[in-house]
Amino acid sequence: MGRSKQKQAVINQKLTWKKSFKKYTWLYILLIPGVLWYILFKYLPMMGIVIAFEKYGPFTGVKGMFTAKWVGWYWFRKFFKSIYAERLIRNSLVISLKKLIVCFPSAIILAILLNAIPGTRYKKTIQTVSYLPHFLSAVVVASIVRTITSTDGGLINLVIKALGGEPVFFLGSNKYFQGVLVVTELWKTIGWNSIIYLAAMTGIDPALYEAATVDGANWHHKIWHITLPAIAPIISLMLILRCGELMNAGFEMTFNLYSAAVYETGDIIDTYVYREGLTNMNYSSATAVNVFKSVVSLVLVLGSNFFAKRMGQEGIW
């Protein structure tokens, strides 16, 4: 124990700059394109955030960033005073929470079920099928959703009609739109999200289960006392990390499925930013709203990582 620690210390000992450059000359050169890329495509745009504090004209280019009038918190104030703020924040959080409540446990349940049955072929088939939606692009999934929920030959409405009901225009109705988003998310992610739990479950010693069987344990005993405790750390970690993303209600899906009729319940911060910015050309206003969301997200992510570390897990870094 002590010896390897010493060895670690030797390896991790920092070289001086000169020594490092000498030893790793080529590697530093290799690093240049990557670092430049980050600076160009990640850091440079960050400077563009300044337009959230100015009255920036959309066609004035980079020069415009320096010549535009400074207005400080104006756009932020405007956003919070407007009816939009409440609706967007509420929608973003509500949709995100609904997705969390439905999709998070479902992936775990799927993993538990897969883990519970014997045999491999059936298991593998189900798994393969369940991962499939993850590989479809958001547009494809949205298109499938549109097609099967349509009132013009869509599968779901035909089932409803067969059961004697009236066809429902799901994508146009404030009552159902959030439900559609949640179910779509479930459909797309349940398989992929179960992987991490299954991976953790492979670490469980089968002897434990056998011993439990011998003891006469039923299935729920096994799950409660063996499976769940083994994946509890992973569950907590995933939950905490997921909470860090609470402001992200899922732009891609929403953008491809929403329409003016469902702005009331379906418009989230990201879609509003897109509309305000690219369609209405209110660059400053859109950027301000985005800054607000990014800051809140940042706080949430840092907070959740902090908690994760407290729990003894590694966090993202």
Q: What is the footprint of another protein within residues 73-112 (CB under 8 A)? A: 74, 77-78, 81-84, 110
What minimum distance in Å lies between the beta carbon of 313 and another protein? 8
Q: Which is nearer to another protein, 2 or 118 (CB)?
A: 118
β-pair partners for 55? 69
The stretch among 88-96, 97-105, 132-140 that binds another protein (CB under 8 A) is 132-140
Of these, 80, 104, 169, 176, which contacts another protein (CB under 8 A)?
169
The stretch among 88-96, 97-105, 126-134 that binds another protein (CB under 8 A) is 126-134
- The reply on whether position 117 binds another protein by CB under 8 A is yes
- The reply on whether position 27 binds another protein by CB under 8 A is yes
From residue 227 to residue 266, the character string flagging contacts with another protein as x (rule: CB under 8 A) and all else as - is: x------------------------x---x--x-x--x--
From residue 267 to residue 286, the character string flagging contacts with another protein as x (rule: CB under 8 A) and all else as - is: ------xx--xxx-x-x--x
First to last CA, the chain: 25
Q: Which is nearer to another protein, 35 or 311 (CB)?
A: 35
Residues sharing a CB contact under 8 Å with residue 291, sequence separation 6 or more, in sequence order:
49, 52
Residues sharing a CB contact under 8 Å with residue 33, sequence separation 6 or more, in sequence order:
none
- Binding residues for another protein, rule CB under 8 A, total 131
Q: Which is nearer to another protein, 302 or 311 (CB)?
A: 302
Cβ burial 135-148 (10 Å sphere, 16+ → b, else e):
eeebeebbebbeee
- The reply on whether position 55 binds another protein by CB under 8 A is yes
Of these, 7, 73, 155, 228, which contacts another protein (CB under 8 A)?
155
Q: Which is nearer to another protein, 96 or 191 (CB)?
A: 191
* Both tokens assigned to 26: 């080529």
The answer to whether residues 168 and 180 touch, using CB atoms and an 8 Å cutoff, is: no
The answer to whether residues 103 and 189 touch, using CB atoms and an 8 Å cutoff, is: yes
What minimum distance in Å lies between the beta carbon of 24 and another protein? 5
Q: Rounded to whole angstroms, how far apart are CA atoms 71 and 77?
A: 11
- In three-state secondary structure terms, 69 is strand
* Both tokens assigned to 242: 């997921």
- The reply on whether position 303 binds another protein by CB under 8 A is no
Residue 67 corresponds to which amino acid? Answer: T
* Both tokens assigned to 313: 């897990």
- The reply on whether position 226 binds another protein by CB under 8 A is yes
Angle among Cα 123, 124, 126 to the nearest 5 degrees reads 65
What minimum distance in Å lies between the beta carbon of 77 and another protein? 8
